Each structure stands twice: as structure tokens, then as C-alpha cells.
Amino acid sequence: MSISFLSKPKAANTGTNHWWWQRATAICLIPLSIWFVVSVLGHINDDHAAASNWIKSIPVTVLLLSFMVTVFYHAKLGLQVIAEDYVHDASTLKTILFFINASMILGGLASVSAIVVISFIIP
């Protein structure tokens, strides 16, 4: 039986990199996601002024930006593994991976833009 696919240097390299980043983002997300959920629970009744003033404070802006960027990167890595495991057709996989990357990048950009607008642009 051929095991030539096991020795492809490209797969070995990106595999380790992917594995490492998935764990690194997971570890970062433990405190960040708990902070996010607890904070949002504390601001559940906020009106617009209270909610935007909360996000405008520098520590909150920084934490929220870190949380959103890490979430979207972690989501991209996770969705990618699932697609690679279950999509058996190479060209379909390529298309799906493109949509995963595109939507996670768009999501990340949209959330960063929204936070920047709240923190630095709206009164």
C-alpha cells in the first residue's frame, strides 16, 4: 500500500502550523470569551449611550478587538479542519475553503470596523 502522501512536506508543515494556532487561539479565548459573556450580561439593559460609552473605554475597545479577531481566526481554523475531514472531492473542498476564508475575513473586518466606529467616530 502506498504511503507516499504521508511524506509530503507541504502537508506536514501547514499541519503543524494549523494545530499550533488552533491551540494558541483556544487558550487566548478562554479568558477573552468569559470576559465577553460576563460583560455583555452586565450591559444587557443598557441604552445606546450606556452601551457605546462602555465600548469607548480603552480597555474595553482593546479587549473587544482582541476577542473578535481571535474568534474569527479560531473559527476559520476549526471550520477548515471539518471541511478537510468530511469533504472528499478536491475541487469542492477548494471552493468551500475559499468561502470559509472569505466569510471569516469579512466577519473579522466588519466587527473591527464596527468597534472602531463606536469607539472613535460616533459621539
Neighbours of 71 (CB within 10 A): 20
Grid cell for residue 105? 475575513
Report, in Å, the least distance between residue 63 CB and other proteins: 13
- Give CA–CA dist 91/89, Å, rounded: 6
The number of residues that bind other proteins (CB under 8 A) is 44
Give the CA-trace dihedral at 24, 62, 117, 34, to 10 degrees. Answer: 60
Q: Which is nearer to other proteins, 63 or 107 (CB)?
A: 107
Binding to other proteins (CB under 8 A) within 27-66 occurs at: 27, 29-30, 33-34, 37, 41, 44-45, 47-49, 51-52, 55
Map grid coordinates 449611550 to a residue.
Answer: 49
Does the footprint of other proteins cover residue 24 (CB under 8 A)? Answer: no
Does the footprint of other proteins cover residue 79 (CB under 8 A)? Answer: yes
Binding to other proteins (CB under 8 A) within 93-112 occurs at: 104, 107, 110-111
CA nearest neighbour of 25 among 81, 61, 59, 75: 75
Specify burial of residue 63 (Cβ count, 10 A radius: 0-12, 13-18, 19+).
middle
Residues that bind other proteins (CB under 8 A): 4-6, 8, 11, 23, 26-27, 29-30, 33-34, 37, 41, 44-45, 47-49, 51-52, 55, 68, 71-72, 75, 78-79, 82, 84-86, 88, 90, 104, 107, 110-111, 113-115, 117-118, 122
